[in-house]
Amino acid sequence: MKLLIVDDSHIMQRAIGKYLENDHFTLVGSASDGEAAMQMFSQYLPDVVTLDITMPKMDGLTCLEKMLSLKPDAKILIVSALKDSITGLQALKKGAKGFLAKPFTAAELQNEIDEILGQMNDRN
Report the amino acid identity of residue 18: K
For other proteins, which residue of 22, 69, 105, 121 counts as binding (CB under 8 A)? Answer: 105
Separation CA 14–CA 64 (nearest Å): 21
For other proteins, which residue of 20, 38, 61, 82 counts as binding (CB under 8 A)? Answer: 82
Closest CB to other proteins among 102 and 118? Answer: 102
For other proteins, which residue of 1, 43, 102, 119 counts as binding (CB under 8 A)? Answer: 102
Asked whether position 92 contacts other proteins by CB under 8 A, the answer is: no
Contact present, 79 and 13 (Cβ < 8 Å)? no
Asked whether position 107 contacts other proteins by CB under 8 A, the answer is: no
Report the amino acid identity of residue 78: I
Asked whether position 70 contacts other proteins by CB under 8 A, the answer is: no
For other proteins, which residue of 4, 5, 8, 112 counts as binding (CB under 8 A)? Answer: 8
Q: What is the DSSP letter of 54?
A: S
Of the candidate spans 20-28, 41-49, 61-69, 96-104, the one that interacts with other proteins by CB under 8 A turns out to be: 96-104
Strand partners, 78: 51, 99
H or E, element range at 89: helix 85-93
Separation CA 19–CA 63 (nearest Å): 23
Closest CB to other proteins among 65 and 84? Answer: 84
Separation CA 113–CA 119 (nearest Å): 10
Interface residues with other proteins (CB under 8 A) are: 8-12, 14-15, 18, 54-56, 80-84, 86-87, 101-105
